[in-house]
Amino acid sequence: MLDVPALDIVDLSVGYAGENGIIPAVDRVSFNIAAGEFMGLAGESGCGKSTIAQSILRLLRAPGIITGGEIRIAGNDMLSQDDNAVRALRWRTASIVLQNSLTSLNPVKRIAWQLQEALNRGTSAVGRTPAELLQMVDIDPKRLRAYPHELSGGQRQRVVIAMALALEPKLIILDEPTTALDVIVQQEIFVTVKALQRQMGFAVLLITHDLPLLFEVADRIAVMRDGRIVETAPVPRFRQHQEHPYSRALLTASPKVDFTTPSVARPKSVAHPVLETAHLTKAYGTNPLTGRSALVAVNDVSFRLASGEIVALVGASGSGKSTFGRIVTGLTRPSSGDVLVDGRTPVPVSRRRPHQPRAAQMVFQDVYGSLNPLHTIGHHLRRAVISAPGGDKTDVEGRVAALLTEVGLTPTASYLDRRPHELSGGQRQRVGLARALAASPKLLVADEPVSMLDVSIRRDILNLIARLRDEQGVAVLYITHDVVSAGYIADRIAVMHRGQIVEEGLAKAVLANPQHACTRQLIAAVPGGLGLETPNPVPAS
């Protein structure tokens, strides 16, 4: 039985039916996973890796069609059998964990009910209880009666993993399970998964864009591009040498911290800082009688940012860093304390008058949601230029073209009439930057501007932000949970924890010699460590 691979895929081809016939998404892909092996499938968005994940359990919905090949899970043919037979095999032979932990669980059912539903699919031989499943993934069985929204993102994903293990399948497919979570939670979840794997012996197919993560957890790596697997290799060999140029490109694309040159303190503009906050506090759910608050998102933060400076505000999810960014841009009003942007208090959008200067502009994380899909790129930018305070409004087109050139979208004419869905994620974020620059801001607030983008273009966008700072002197508040990109781009790093800034200093100094436990935890959770040039000796399991 040990000889039967947990998963065997031979010449799998999958396409999506469109108006002009079937567009191939996966092209004659073959690979197998041995029993108990941890396999990583790496690639960028659109390469077909999630399509493979869906095909394995035959979950692909129209217009997706499996056009050829064979899939066997632990010897069971998944493609030639009828729907009822396949349904009986699902979850018992292989289970899947999806990316979005928030929507993976039914919002109106208690988790005990949902775990029991999975257990009911099995024979009584397995004989686990929902409480045992929760204990397996280190969640207090007292939470059995909780609803999904009462758990954190990490806890929800643990519940789904527990559910995936309910019937002790031979294979678990993890489709970007931690992409929406911060690095600390990601690390904790994989520690649990690896421990359970040692104990129960299931095989794992981890689908991700994060090669350093695979180096830490996987036994073998397959790299995918445009529907094909370009390279498959055991992790130790892959780390030393990548056969395919694309694998190399993918690996070197991720930003790294260069410790060879120390951070230099920028000459601070003495006149006045671009951003200054004093005892800034934002509390939610404050009881007017007792004065006690349900949540203090930002707690007594005093912070300065000089013009032309890039400061990274780093913290785990829920640390209050995004709330801070929203206060700075005037999207949220503080409960108490002062905030001055370019010497003025930020005005809420609803009360802003047409020609009031807008010193701070926001760059958003969600490149798909932050541009109205109905309008062209030209429309978005023209609107931003026209509504910008001051300046010359006679040559709107010229200004729009100049903005597009600044963010590297040339020739500009070819972008004006396109709509957001015709652009890649990276191009959309460039449009987002151009839109923010239209008002000639003194400060850009960039809240996780690259976390939704593919690894290979993250560095380009970060470089663009750095260049805009150099050329235009705009200061940047870069909000992120990713200390590596913070170290890559920022002059200074401020670490936020539970609403307070617990550590602040020159970027590389903070990363090389972290003082606060929280900073150390954020750094330690980064897969592969801070710099890949000097790889930490990771025990290959």
Partner 1 sequence: MYYIAKRLAFYVLAAFVAITVNFFLPRLTPGDPASTIVATYSTSLNAESLAALKAAYGLTDEPLLQQYLTYLGNVLRGDFGRSLSNFPAPVMAVIGAGFGWSILLGLTSVLLSFVLGSVLGAIAAWRRGGWFDKLTPPVLLFLGSFPYFFLALLLFYVFCFKLGWFPMGNAYSSVNPPALNLAGVGDILMHLIAPAFTIVLVSLGPWTLNMRNAMIGVLSEDYLTLAEAKGLQPRRVLLSHAVRTALLPNITALGAAVGAVFSGQLLTEIVFTYPGLGYSLMRAVSAVDYPLMQALFLIITLSVLAANFFVDTLYVLLDPRVRTGGEA
Binding site for partner 1 (CB under 8 A): 54, 57, 59, 87-92, 95-96, 98-100, 103-110, 117-118, 121, 147, 149-150, 160, 163, 284-285, 294
Enumerate the β-bridge partners of residue 149: none
- CB closer to partner 1 out of 96 and 465: 96
- CB closer to partner 1 out of 117 and 504: 117
Give the Å distances, CA to CA, from 469 to 304, 407, 491: 17, 12, 11
Of 529, 497, 486, give the one whose Cα is nearest residue 187.
529
CB of 192 to partner 1, least distance (A): 19
- CB closer to partner 1 out of 105 and 388: 105
CB of 21 to partner 1, least distance (A): 20
CB of 148 to partner 1, least distance (A): 9
Give the position of tokens 């330690």: 524
- CB closer to partner 1 out of 116 and 456: 116
Both tokens of 523, joined, read 């750094």
- CB closer to partner 1 out of 23 and 295: 295
DSSP state of 254: S
* Separation CA 176–CA 188 (nearest Å): 15
* Separation CA 130–CA 136 (nearest Å): 10
CB of 159 to partner 1, least distance (A): 11
CB of 298 to partner 1, least distance (A): 17
CB of 146 to partner 1, least distance (A): 9
- CB closer to partner 1 out of 335 and 376: 335
How many of the other CB atoms lie within 10 Å of CB of 45? Answer: 14
CB of 309 to partner 1, least distance (A): 36
Give residue 265's identity as a one-letter amino acid code.
A
* Separation CA 379–CA 464 (nearest Å): 23
- CB closer to partner 1 out of 117 and 132: 117
- CB closer to partner 1 out of 129 and 463: 129
CB of 485 to partner 1, least distance (A): 28
- CB closer to partner 1 out of 92 and 497: 92
* Separation CA 52–CA 14 (nearest Å): 8
Instruction: Please provide residue 381's backbone torsions phi and psi, each rounded to the nearest 5 degrees.
Output: -75, -40
- CB closer to partner 1 out of 148 and 325: 148
Enumerate the β-bridge partners of residue 301: 280
CB of 32 to partner 1, least distance (A): 21
Query: Quick one: three-class SS letters along 117-172?
Result: HHHCCCCCCCCCCHHHHHHHCCCCHHHHHCCHHHCCHHHHHHHHHHHHCCCCCCEE
Question: Which helix (H) or strand (E) is 64 found in, with range?
Answer: strand 64-73
Helices within 47-110 (DSSP H only): 49-56, 83-89
Enumerate the β-bridge partners of residue 33: 7
Instruction: Return the exposure string of 243-277: e unless at least 16 CB atoms fall within 10 Å of the residue's CB, then b.
Output: eeebbeebbebbbbbeeeeebeebeeeeeebbbbb
Helices within 349-506 (DSSP H only): 377-387, 396-406, 413-416, 425-437, 455-472, 483-489
CB of 213 to partner 1, least distance (A): 21
| Secondary structure of residue 241 in the 3-state scheme | coil
- CB closer to partner 1 out of 23 and 59: 59
* Separation CA 315–CA 58 (nearest Å): 39
CB of 131 to partner 1, least distance (A): 19
